[in-house]
Amino acid sequence: METCTINTPLGFTKISGDINGLTDITVLNSKEKITDIIPVELEDCVIQLNEYFKGNRKQFNLKLNPQGTDFQKRVWTLLEQVPYGKTMTYLELSKQLGDVKAIRAVANANGKNPLWIIVPCHRIIGSDGSLTGYAGGLHRKKWLLEHESPYKQQSLF
């Protein structure tokens, strides 16, 4: 398993993966040593994340290999289909899975998403339009949604 740490506008980000794909991208709440040498298996991810933060990338083209249950992987696959600049509610996501009653399980799977930004769990909001919980912190969720907003304004929330 290869790892590296990069600096992003939202903090230090640890990237892990190997030839089978990315397994983990996590924003860290502490300062980490930025990796001087990026492993070849992670170069595309670093490039694409930098393009995203510069506003030059709206879609990622990376090989993913997240570890989780079959249900979690189904949720994460649906998350990848939520377009840049759009949001969806946990209820809508549950309906897409075919089980409205699975809303709590969907929210739990969303919270366990190991591929920060690449699998855009930040695009999932409450039915009332509220930001609701976010593993990276609500300030980061707000920033990401504003960054992706087609209508640049002072603040969405």
Q: Is 121 a catalytic residue?
A: yes
Find the Cα–Cα–Cα–Cα dihedral 65, 68, 73, 76, rounded to 10°.
-80
- Token pair, residue 55, equals 């506003």
Q: Which of 64, 75, 121, 124 is catalytic?
A: 121
Percentages (nearest 5) of helix, strand, coil residues in the chain: 35, 20, 45
Q: Which residues are identified as catalytic?
A: 121
